[in-house]
Amino acid sequence: MRIYSGIQPTGCITIGNYIGAVKNWLELQEENECLFAIANQHAMTVRQVPQELRERTYSFFAQFLACGLDPEKSILYVQSNVPQHSELAWILSCTTYIGELERMTQFKDKSRKNEDNINAGLLTYPVLMAADILLFKTDLVPVGKDQKQHLELTRDLAIRFNNRYGDTFVVPEPYIPKQGAKITSLQNPLEKMSKSDKDQNATVSIIDSADVIMKKFKRAVTDSENRIAFSEEKPGISNLLTIYSAFSGESIESAERRFEGKGYGDFKIAVGETVADALSPVREKYAAYMADKAELERIMKEGAEKASRIASRTIAKVKKKIGFVSD
Ligand code: ATP
Ligand code: LTN
């Protein structure tokens, strides 16, 4: 199967991104043809400082590699290095209705958060995302729950285009994990953990030091019941159990049994230690990749060339279908 997914280079990759998306990418790359992109064109929908965006793009690429995404198995690249994304986005935008875009939850959320910069890109963002996916004849898109609506739009656009111009695009399926599809903020367990959260204590980055990870978990907001059990009424402790299970491999039920009679304080320390230990090799590899920029650039270039080769075939087919003269 062909797999495609992306992540925006904003903030730092969090354990939410890791559990909801990257962890599944690692499994999928073993048996499928995968492409994973740093979606820097998507990141532009909120204001970026150019030098910081550039640095963060390298950093995210190094984090991809440090997590175990393997350029021998998957195509890893930076979105803006493959110009076909923008080319297809324009074409698809002419088969997308404004009403469809205005309904998107993420557009409404981000408009509220960036009242001084509700740019056209924020609205058309899902069209670019659809272009990313459809360019590569993707079968499956592994993402967290927040992207489900964008995937539904992608499917609608593919079907609409195929009906209007004849069979062109593969209609992709979302792949959303049963557990961990929405890791919540450590400071507000009712909200999604978000890379761009300004509260440092709300998120854990995959490259935070062990000390910082411990501190953040110790400060995590829970309730006052002090019983380690998963339930919808107790989102804080349930979130910690989900994180613990994702990093230890132990099921939630088994963790509940093992920690029976223990208090939240003990459990928070156990979660912190488990996460810090699991991420320690990621941190080390990250530092090594960041120290070799030339190697990062080589892998980026190779990835972009491979992606571009596939994308250009789709674009040629699309142009023919819609009546553009050949170049
Ligand atoms: P931003 O805060 O800048 O919007 P983000 O943290 O939402 O960033 P994205 O780059 O939008 O991150 O998402 C990358 C991938 O991680 C997507 O597949 C998304 O669904 C997934 N993801 C993001 N946040 C979470 C979360 N809290 N839990 C599970 N999956 C998540
Ligand atoms: N919009 C996604 C990131 C993203 C993506 C993609 C995910 C950009 N292009 C293509 C899956 C497929 C987000 O997580 N905010």
Statement to judge: residues 6 and 154 lie in one domain: yes
Residue 182 placed within a domain: no
Which residue segment(s) compose the domain that 12 sits in? 2-175+293-322
CATH number at residue 132: 3.40.50.620
Greatest Cα pair distance in the chain: 72
Statement to judge: residues 42 and 156 lie in one domain: yes
Continuous segment of H or E residues that includes residue 296: helix 293-322
Statement to judge: residues 153 and 247 lie in one domain: no
Q: Tell whether ligand 1 has an atom less than 6 A from the beta carbon of residue 181.
A: yes
Q: For residue 46, which ligand has an atom nearest its CA?
A: 1
Statement to judge: residues 137 and 170 lie in one domain: yes
Q: Tell whether ligand 2 has an atom less than 6 A from the beta carbon of residue 38.
A: no
CA quadruple 91, 94, 98, 99: dihedral sign:
negative
Residue 9 placed within a domain: yes
Contact 282, 65 (CB under 8 A): no
pLDDT at 326: 83
Residue 165 placed within a domain: yes
Task: Report which DSSP code applies to 168.
Answer: -
Q: Tell whether ligand 2 has an atom less than 6 A from the beta carbon of residue 187.
A: no
Statement to judge: residues 35 and 108 lie in one domain: yes
- d(Cα 39, Cα 7) in Å, to the nearest integer? 5
Domain count, the chain: 2
Residue 140 placed within a domain: yes
At 1 the three-state DSSP class reads coil
pLDDT in tens, the chain (327 residues): 999 999 999 999 999 999 999 999 999 999 999 999 999 999 999 999 999 999 999 999 999 999 999 999 999 999 999 999 999 999 999 999 999 999 999 999 999 988 999 999 999 999 999 999 999 999 999 999 999 999 999 999 999 999 999 999 999 999 999 999 999 999 999 999 999 898 999 999 999 999 999 999 999 999 989 999 999 999 999 999 999 999 999 999 999 999 999 999 999 999 999 999 999 999 999 999 999 999 999 999 999 999 999 999 999 999 999 999 987
pLDDT in tens, 249-280: 999 999 999 999 999 999 999 999 999 999 99
The one-letter amino acid code at 298 reads R
Q: What is the pTM of this model?
A: 0.96
Task: Report which DSSP code applies to 200.
Answer: G
Q: For residue 126, which ligand has an atom nearest its CA?
A: 2
Statement to judge: residues 281 and 310 lie in one domain: no
Statement to judge: residues 214 and 87 lie in one domain: no
pLDDT in tens, 193-235: 999 898 999 999 999 999 999 999 999 999 989 999 999 999 9
Q: Please name the residue whose Cα sits nearest to atom 11 of ligand 2.
A: 5
| Closest atom, ligand 1, to C-alpha of 5 | 18
Q: Please name the residue whose Cα sits nearest to atom 6 of ligand 2.
A: 6
Query: Closest Cα to residue 15, out of 152, 212, 293?
Result: 212
Residue 186 placed within a domain: no
**Residue-by-residue DSSP string for 86-138:** HHHHHHHHTTS-HHHHHT-HHHHHHHHHTTT---HHHHHHHHHHHHHHHHTT-
Statement to judge: residues 104 and 59 lie in one domain: yes
CATH number at residue 216: 1.10.240.10
